[in-house]
């Protein structure tokens, strides 16, 4: 009950996905102000994508409603319009997620004032899987049909929007008959209009709140170095997600490679380091240069992972699990050796690292 890959090719063009830059412009504006400026720029784009998602979800719902909720009839009468809107909503999701939130996750997930948005949008797990380190996402959506989508499901991006728009969760799609599927070029399910509309409205509400929180946030050097200390060691865990997306698909990371998220997350951490580096250079130039070199190494490792991933996909293959495990071990070595150096930098700068941020 999933969209056929062959039918989705026009909607899922890997080559159009934008690479996340290394953010070297932060070097031009020293201090934590550069971090907030970058954060606001990216979250403003994310917010715009959320509201565009609402516009397209409403248009999609109007077609379904005009056909009395009959998805077969809607596909037969307005198939091209439905496909166009699904493609637009998928693009909105990429701009919400990979081109949006992931480019600031290294900051948001490492700061107490913003971590709630990381859990809500991207990292929260279903309630049954929750623990102290991995809290559940407090989502509470109400669809037009009266259905409740809550924290039993998981976070908004990977457990609701992504599997709905890519047809990976049977509860959130409508199966259509053979004739209607032929009209859609072989696609045999369509996203449920009430789910996409509820998720779109919810994403816009929380994107508005996220942007407001970012505007109100007054970053300190303590918090910024704390984000580096808490988030850098998570680097190797992203390879588990990459492996699972390829070999144990659950509906997460099916719209884009997890490697693209690595670039955004680690790139945002590199930006944070670049912003505080001038102050460290004044006190310990050697350590500042070493940390810069270490983050350069992490970004090169992301580049190499990306190269291998793209080469495998181009050959219609997957990265082997052994290869992924080897790259994960290398990532762990890189991030583990950074942790004590970052703590040393905090001590040299006379900072008091805040506790690891959790959702209160």
Structure confidence by residue, pLDDT tens digits, 285-327: 999 999 999 999 999 999 999 999 999 999 999 999 999 999 9
Q: How far apart are CA 83 and CA 20, in angstroms?
A: 28
User: Looking at residue 189, what DSSP letter applies?
Assistant: E
CA 202 to chain centre: 16
pTM: 0.87
Q: How far apart are CA 279 and CA 289, in angstroms?
A: 12
> What tokens appear for 260 in the block?
């693209």
Contact, 332 vs 280, CB < 8 A? no
Give Cβ neighbours of residue 20 (< 8 Å, ≥ 6 apart).
99, 102, 103, 260, 263, 264, 267
Q: What is the pLDDT of residue 30?
A: 54
Ordered DSSP codes for 302-322: HHHHHHHHHHHHHTT----HH
- Of the candidates 161, 157, 8, the residue with the CA atom closest to the CA atom of residue 89: 161
Query: Per residue of the chain (360 residues), what is the pLDDT tens digit?
Result: 444 433 333 333 333 333 333 333 333 345 788 899 999 999 999 999 999 999 999 999 999 999 999 999 999 999 999 999 999 999 999 999 999 999 999 999 999 999 999 999 999 988 888 887 788 999 999 998 889 998 788 999 999 999 999 999 999 999 999 999 999 999 999 999 999 999 999 999 999 999 999 999 999 999 999 999 989 998 998 999 899 888 887 667 788 888 888 999 999 999 999 988 999 999 999 999 999 999 999 999 999 999 999 999 999 999 999 999 999 999 999 999 898 999 999 999 999 888 888 644
């Amino acid at each position: 009950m999933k969209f056929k890959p062959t039918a989705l090719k026009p909607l899922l063009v890997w080559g159009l996905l934008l690479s996340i830059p290394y953010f070297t412009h932060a070097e031009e504006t020293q201090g934590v102000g550069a971090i907030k400026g970058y954060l606001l720029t990216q979250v403003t784009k994310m917010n715009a994508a959320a509201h565009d998602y609402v516009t397209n979800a409403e248009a999609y719902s109007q077609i379904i409603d005009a056909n009395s909720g009959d998805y077969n009839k809607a596909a037969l009468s307005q198939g091209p319009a439905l496909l166009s809107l699904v493609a637009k909503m998928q693009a909105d999701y990429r701009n919400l997620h990979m081109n949006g939130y992931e480019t600031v996750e290294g900051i948001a997930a490492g700061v107490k004032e913003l971590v709630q948005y990381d859990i809500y949008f991207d990292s929260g797990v279903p309630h049954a899987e929750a623990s102290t380190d991995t809290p559940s996402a407090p989502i509470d959506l109400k669809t037009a049909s009266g259905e409740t989508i809550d924290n039993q499901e998981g976070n908004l991006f990977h457990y609701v929007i992504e599997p709905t728009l890519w047809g990976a969760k049977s509860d959130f799609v409508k199966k259509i008959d053979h004739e209607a599927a032929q009209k859609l070029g072989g696609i045999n399910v369509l996203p449920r209009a009430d789910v996409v509309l509820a998720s779109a409205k919810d994403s816009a509400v929380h994107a508005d709140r996220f942007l407001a929180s970012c505007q109100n946030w007054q970053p300190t050097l303590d918090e910024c170095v704390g984000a580096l200390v808490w988030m850098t060691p998570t680097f190797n865990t992203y390879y588990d997600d990459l492996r699972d997306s390829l070999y144990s698909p659950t509906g997460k990371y099916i719209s884009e490679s997890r490697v693209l998220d690595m670039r955004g997350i680690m790139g945002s951490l590199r930006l944070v380091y670049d912003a505080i580096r001038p102050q460290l250079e004044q006190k310990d130039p050697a350590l500042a240069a070493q940390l810069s070199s270490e983050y350069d190494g992490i970004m090169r490792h992301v580049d190499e992972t990306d190269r291998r991933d793209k080469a495998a996909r181009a050959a219609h293959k997957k990265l082997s699990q052994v290869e992924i495990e080897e790259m994960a071990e290398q990532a762990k070595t890189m991030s583990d050796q950074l942790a004590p150096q970052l703590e040393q930098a905090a001590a040299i700068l006379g900072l008091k690292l805040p506790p690891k941020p959790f959702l209160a």
